[in-house]
Structure 1
Amino acid sequence: MDLIPAPRRVHRFETDTHAWSYRLRPESRITAAQGAQGVARWLRAELSAATGFPFDARSPEDRRGGEALDIHLEFDPELRATHGREAYRLDVHEYGAHLRGGGRAGLFYAAQTFRQLFGPQVHRRAPLPGAEWAAPSVTIEDAPRFGWRGVLLDVARHFLPKADVLRFLDLMAVHKLNVLHLHLTDDQGWRIEIDRYPRLTGVGAWRERSMVGFRAADRRDDRPHGGFYSKDDLREIVAYAAERHITVVPEIDLPGHSRAAVAAYPELGNTDVVDTSALGVWTDWGVDPHVLNVSDATLRFFENVLAEVLEVFPSEFVHLGGDECPKEQWKASPAAQARIAELGLAGEDELQSWFIRHFDRWLAERGRRLIGWDEILEGGLAPGAAVSSWRGYEGGIAAAKAGHDVVMCPEQHVYLDHRQAPGDDEPIPVGYVRTLEDVYRFEPVPPELDDAAAAHVLGTQANLWTEFMTGARDIDYRAFPRLAAFAEVAWSDLPRDPAERPYEDFERRMATHYRRLDALGVEYRPPGGPHPWQRRPGVLGRPID
């Protein structure tokens, strides 16, 4: 059946001479028990688009021989009690299908698996002539390994229009991924509307030009670049994601990676060291030295920003970056040094820790939790904060052993902006070579963690940084097919030893999955290398050997 991600248990009903199946037909119906109507509406819409059949509702009491007619969805309290809200059971027989979930999310994943059973064409948006819709008779029991199965989408470096974000959410849902980490602010752009501070988007959402490729090439695209999401745009994205059981976690980066904010409001910078009045939004990639000052006024400014962020995003976690904060301006700033002395801090690292702890307390008072990149461990970390471990496993190991929750996303393994093969054909080759097989063999829980510390690993996340991705086609190429491998790592019950993972079986199933991606309109990297139009000849990257 070539399902991706692979379910835990599958039993197919067949003999040497016969395989039973269920066929969709114009009179097929979809029914739902109380509370399951939302998932039923989604499944009805998806199957109707591909087949042209209406799938009208029918009373759940309409039965034949004690078996549900056609397709029936319901919750299963026992499944929830034993395996959680995201668990599901799918039974397909000659007369129809029975989808059961531990909760709405589990029921939704049952529907996603059920859809895959009908073949790649079921992912198209209109019926094709001559298509037949048969699913094998099968029982599938499934539940995810991790609760956090995330993808970071960087819309700060290159803005991604709302319609493309919604499309990306659909692609995440197909792969049973459930967290979209939306990187909304950075040196190169501010992408979220804040009513109280209109210059954040009026100035901060636009840059004069962009670097093309890596810095050493000294090459520029002189088109202005920018864009931002209104609050209603983001509310729509959050609601659309929620219908697909995806949580959107916003990131507002501070105190570093903040030049766009300083360009909009120069008083946020270290004005006792540099003249920030003429700063523009940064047009280079990398880490800009202009960081936030540590005044009470700046703390109040970002409290006001975050108050509006919380109005839009209901997620438990709010990501505050905390990474790559150069300390040179603080070292030279009399105001920053006075703050260090006032608080009795050991130095600039502890000053950053104090800054992060302030917002950790502020978020906790409002029922939210701070998560940040592993640099927030430097100088000490507030007890309730969680860590995104990006510089390798080390930060995540230290955080988990200290009792902090962790999301594993080491750049050496799951930064999907990194190149997929060696050689000159890869467009703007940056970072490590990470093939489809490399991603499939990524293990989120390192062996250094005992069971108690490993329990703090909430899950894992693949990151898509967009310095070298100008739009959806570039994101498709970098993300897929590797995101399918990552999804299986995050969901499936694979051997913990990467060397023991059945990559050959995954590669075989990918032959069908490529056809699903084709039907979905995904411009993935072909196994044999990029298409001519996917290459960027002559644009310098930054490969790491």
Structure 2
Amino acid sequence: MSEPLTNLVPRPLLAVPAEGDFQLDTTTPLDAAPELTGVAVWLRGVLGPATGCQLPPGPGGVRLQFDPGLPAEGYELDIRPTGVDIRGGSAAGVFYGAQTLRQLLPPVTLRRAQLSRGPWTLPGGRIEDAPRFAWRGVMLDVARHFMPVADVLRLIDLIAFHKINMLHLHLTDDQGWRLEVPGRPRLTSVGGWRPATMLGSRQHERHDGRPHGGFYSSDDLREIVAHAAARQITVVPEVDMPGHMQAAIAAYPELGNGYSGPVRTAWGISPHVLNLGPEALDFCRAVLDHVCDLFPSGLIGIGGDECPVDEWRDSPVARARIQAEGLAGPERLQSWFTARMAEHLAGRGRRVFGWDEILLGGAPPGAVIAAWRGTGPAVHAARAGHPVVSCPDTSVYLDYRQSDDPAEPTPVGTRLTLADVHAFDPVPPGLTPPEAGLVLGGQANLWTEHMESSRRVDYQAFPRLCAFAETVWGPAGRDFTEFSVRLSTHLGRLDALGVNYRPMTGPRPWDARPDAPGNPRTLDDRLAELREMTAGLDRVPT
């Protein structure tokens, strides 16, 4: 048995069936160029356990080749009775062709052990494919709920299966600090743990009374980076600053503006921010240096979102900084700080990646903007000449509820259905062609306030992440009905991969979280709120 060429997710640009299938068996060799050894090792590793096909080196059989005439992430897949050719413009293109080959085999071949001896048949035909966007991302928040390394590696495998190539790893926040920093042991011994966790939306003020925490060693993060790189995924780290810093300030109160207390247990925005004195600036530079040592990404996330200025109005250290730099007031401190961190990162050959709030006061040249507060910030960022990653909460925040069913676990935010995600386009209307060219792509965000385990992350992410993969891989024109037909087959693949996806029929009784109530919002209310939140962007220079 094999899967039709048309039953793929994301849908390829061109799939032409042909007569004559190819039989994959225990004698089938794998012929790969030396530069593609990494892809060959990975392919043997994922196909061998379930198929029994070890793909020994040799001519014929499955052939992996470069083709400089193809786009870097593009590929061509030819299946004939005499063999299979996967040609790519780079190792990434070949890798995506191999992922497509996996989807053309029966779902049982995606399991981790052999349940059947086959035969394994690949349908004859030709596929030509390439992505629309260079940035096809997922943001994983490990600060609100820590995710063990094994679970992060598993999620990397799942997003790679859907040809997603960027993992934005949100490592720190008010509720937890998740990475070691040399010379700062209290960041993990104190900042990595909170005394309790909120149950449900913050309006209900419920707590579980149980400590929660965890952190990644430097070797843990190196492993995550290496595992991702072998699957053509770039890990973009984020250490949020100068706000969302209560965990760091709990560990080192001298970094703050007088706060002395624990890591934040409530969701929402902490008023406790860095004081931006010399010690705080040195701290941030040291953290960023360590992050640069661990992550080869050309972009380093510094957050920059939701930073209250209230403490800066009364802080002697902050007031001294305002006076020394000749700033108009506390509202100008964040843009000054962001520019200093951008200068430091530039010295390491890196650029700033920040949320759209850093546009206020002028984002540093070359900064890449993660536009999250609706579609407006993406327009403002592009018109200001900044590269943009579109991730509006009204389209791709996968922590938001999936239906109006009261059994949805901790239903928060606006309703965001599978169809809503499938309708997302990273390029907002109203941009000129040059401005639209600054949109690097899109990103789906997994904020984990209400995702206490990888099982819950699965439920919130899938199958909506399958729909998202189509929005950033394929053309702008999409048919949700046609996608739904393909998805019905694809769910069998998710079953074989062990994904706890949300059933198409709705939540199961055991999915509900009556102990963690939510706070559903209407889209109209959220849009009104976003207009108020982003009003200042009208003053961003273009």
> Could you tell me which residue of structure 2 aligns to residue 7 of structure 1?
12
Report the Cα distance in structure 1 between the residues aligned to 2:516 and 2:238, rounded to whole angstroms: 30
CA shift at 1:162, angstroms?
Answer: 0.3
CA shift at 1:225, angstroms?
Answer: 0.4
Task: Select the residue among 271, 296, 305 that pairs with 1:289.
Answer: 271
> Could you tell me which residue of structure 2 aligns to residue 66 of structure 1?
none
2:64 equivalent to 1:73: yes
2:386 equivalent to 1:386: no
CA shift at 1:297, angstroms?
Answer: 1.4
Tell me the alpha carbon deviations over residues 354-396 of structure 1, each in whole angstroms, 9 at most, x when there is no partner. Answer: 0111001110111001010000011111112111001011111
Report the Cα distance in structure 1 between the residues aligned to 2:509 and 2:224, rounded to whole angstroms: 33
Which residues in structure 2 correspond to 1:164-203 (within 5 Å)? 164-203=151-190
- Residue 146 of structure 2 aligns with an amino acid whose one-letter code is F
> Could you tell me which residue of structure 2 aligns to residue 125 of structure 1?
112
Which residues in structure 2 correspond to 1:265-414 (within 5 Å)? 265-271=252-258, 276-277=259-260, 279-414=261-396
CA shift at 1:53, angstroms?
Answer: 2.0
Report the Cα distance in structure 1 between the residues aligned to 2:116 and 2:227, rounded to whole angstroms: 31
Report the Cα distance in structure 1 between the residues aligned to 2:290 and 2:444, rounded to whole angstroms: 27
Report the Cα distance in structure 1 between the residues aligned to 2:366 and 2:69, rounded to whole angstroms: 32
Tell me the alpha carbon deviations over residues 258-278 of structure 1, each in whole angstroms, 9 at most, x when there is no partner. Answer: 00000000000013xxxx23x
Report the Cα distance in structure 1 between the residues aligned to 2:426 and 2:328, rounded to whole angstroms: 34
Asked if 2 retains the 8 angstrom alpha-carbon contact of 1:120 and 1:512, the reply is: no
> Could you tell me which residue of structure 2 aligns to residue 64 of structure 1?
none
Tell me the alpha carbon deviations over residues 307-342 of structure 1, each in whole angstroms, 9 at most, x when there is no partner. Answer: 111110000000000000011101122332232232
Report the Cα distance in structure 1 between the residues aligned to 2:101 and 2:112, rounded to whole angstroms: 17
2:483 equivalent to 1:506: yes
- Residue 451 of structure 1 aligns with an amino acid whose one-letter code is P
CA shift at 1:219, angstroms?
Answer: 1.6
Task: Select the residue among 509, 513, 517 that pairs with 1:532.
Answer: 509
* Deviation larger for 128-137 or 441-450: 128-137
Tell me, what secondary structure is at the counterpart of 2:237? strand
> Could you tell me which residue of structure 2 aligns to residue 91 of structure 1?
78
CA shift at 1:115, angstroms?
Answer: 1.0
Asked if 2 retains the 8 angstrom alpha-carbon contact of 1:349 and 1:378, the reply is: no
2:421 equivalent to 1:439: yes
Report the Cα distance in structure 1 between the residues aligned to 2:253 and 2:324, rounded to whole angstroms: 24
CA shift at 1:165, angstroms?
Answer: 0.2
Report the Cα distance in structure 1 between the residues aligned to 2:223 and 2:516, rounded to whole angstroms: 36
CA shift at 1:461, angstroms?
Answer: 0.3
TM value normalised by structure 1: 0.93
TM value normalised by structure 2: 0.94
2:95 equivalent to 1:108: yes
Report the Cα distance in structure 1 between the residues aligned to 2:212 and 2:105, rounded to whole angstroms: 42
- State the Cα RMSD in Å: 1.1
2:192 equivalent to 1:205: yes
- Residue 165 of structure 1 aligns with an amino acid whose one-letter code is V
Task: Select the residue among 222, 241, 266 that pairs with 2:209.
Answer: 222
Report the Cα distance in structure 1 between the residues aligned to 2:94 and 2:330, rounded to whole angstroms: 49
Asked if 2 retains the 8 angstrom alpha-carbon contact of 1:427 and 1:534, the reply is: yes
Asked if 2 retains the 8 angstrom alpha-carbon contact of 1:350 and 1:380, the reply is: no
Asked if 1 retains the 8 angstrom alpha-carbon contact of 2:76 and 2:129, the reply is: yes
Tell me, what secondary structure is at the counterpart of 2:445? strand
Report the Cα distance in structure 2 between the residues aligned to 1:458 and 1:219, rounded to whole angstroms: 40
Tell me the alpha carbon deviations over residues 262-296 of structure 1, each in whole angstroms, 9 at most, x when there is no partner. Answer: 0000000013xxxx23x100111010110000111
Asked if 1 retains the 8 angstrom alpha-carbon contact of 2:76 and 2:97, the reply is: yes
How many residues in Structure 1 have an aligned counterpart in Structure 2?
A: 517
Report the Cα distance in structure 2 between the residues aligned to 1:152 and 1:210, rounded to whole angstroms: 21
Report the Cα distance in structure 2 between the residues aligned to 1:348 and 1:383, rounded to whole angstroms: 22
Which residues in structure 2 correspond to 1:492-503 (within 5 Å)? 492-495=474-477, 501-503=478-480
Asked if 2 retains the 8 angstrom alpha-carbon contact of 1:34 and 1:74, the reply is: no
- Residue 67 of structure 2 aligns with an amino acid whose one-letter code is D
* Deviation larger for 179-188 or 23-32: 23-32
CA shift at 1:26, angstroms?
Answer: 1.6
- Residue 18 of structure 2 aligns with an amino acid whose one-letter code is F
Task: State percent identity of aligned pairs.
Answer: 54
Report the Cα distance in structure 2 between the residues aligned to 1:348 and 1:448, rounded to whole angstroms: 33
Aligned CA distance change for structure 1 residues 24 and 247 (closer, same or farther; 3 Å): same
Tell me the alpha carbon deviations over residues 115-157 of structure 1, each in whole angstroms, 9 at most, x when there is no partner. Answer: 1111212211111135431111111111101111000000000
Tell me, what secondary structure is at the counterpart of 2:510? helix
Asked if 2 retains the 8 angstrom alpha-carbon contact of 1:116 and 1:122, the reply is: no
> Could you tell me which residue of structure 1 aligns to residue 48 of structure 2?
48
CA shift at 1:3, angstroms?
Answer: 0.3
Tell me, what secondary structure is at the counterpart of 2:290? helix
Report the Cα distance in structure 1 between the residues aligned to 2:303 and 2:175, rounded to whole angstroms: 15
Report the Cα distance in structure 2 between the residues aligned to 1:341 and 1:47, rounded to whole angstroms: 63
Which residues in structure 2 correspond to 1:25-36 (within 5 Å)? 25-36=25-36
Task: Select the residue among 414, 425, 442 that pairs with 1:460.
Answer: 442
- Residue 249 of structure 1 aligns with an amino acid whose one-letter code is V
2:149 equivalent to 1:162: yes
Report the Cα distance in structure 1 between the residues aligned to 2:208 and 2:37, rounded to whole angstroms: 49
Report the Cα distance in structure 1 between the residues aligned to 2:476 and 2:385, rounded to whole angstroms: 26
Q: Which runs of 5+ in 2 are unaligned?
A: 523-542
- Residue 466 of structure 2 aligns with an amino acid whose one-letter code is A
- Residue 12 of structure 2 aligns with an amino acid whose one-letter code is P
Tell me, what secondary structure is at the counterpart of 1:35? helix
CA shift at 1:103, angstroms?
Answer: 0.3
Asked if 1 retains the 8 angstrom alpha-carbon contact of 2:47 and 2:53, the reply is: yes
CA shift at 1:507, angstroms?
Answer: 0.1
Asked if 2 retains the 8 angstrom alpha-carbon contact of 1:190 and 1:200, the reply is: yes
- Residue 422 of structure 2 aligns with an amino acid whose one-letter code is Y
> Could you tell me which residue of structure 1 aligns to residue 399 of structure 2?
417
Report the Cα distance in structure 1 between the residues aligned to 2:414 and 2:80, rounded to whole angstroms: 47
CA shift at 1:538, angstroms?
Answer: 4.6
Tell me, what secondary structure is at the counterpart of 2:84? strand
CA shift at 1:423, angstroms?
Answer: 2.3
Tell me the alpha carbon deviations over residues 414-458 of structure 1, each in whole angstroms, 9 at most, x when there is no partner. Answer: 000000001211000000111111100001101211111111111
> Could you tell me which residue of structure 1 aligns to residue 537 of structure 2?
none
- Residue 510 of structure 1 aligns with an amino acid whose one-letter code is L
Asked if 1 retains the 8 angstrom alpha-carbon contact of 2:51 and 2:117, the reply is: no
> Could you tell me which residue of structure 1 aligns to residue 533 of structure 2?
none
Report the Cα distance in structure 2 between the residues aligned to 1:217 and 1:388, rounded to whole angstroms: 30
Report the Cα distance in structure 1 between the residues aligned to 2:377 and 2:47, rounded to whole angstroms: 44
Report the Cα distance in structure 2 between the residues aligned to 1:31 and 1:45, rounded to whole angstroms: 15
Report the Cα distance in structure 2 between the residues aligned to 1:385 and 1:416, rounded to whole angstroms: 25
Report the Cα distance in structure 1 between the residues aligned to 2:319 and 2:119, rounded to whole angstroms: 72
Task: Select the residue among 223, 247, 252 that pairs with 2:239.
Answer: 252
The ranges of structure 1 where at least 4 consecutive aligned residues each deviate by more than 3 angstroms after the TM superposition are none
CA shift at 1:345, angstroms?
Answer: 1.9
Report the Cα distance in structure 2 between the residues aligned to 1:188 and 1:377, rounded to whole angstroms: 25
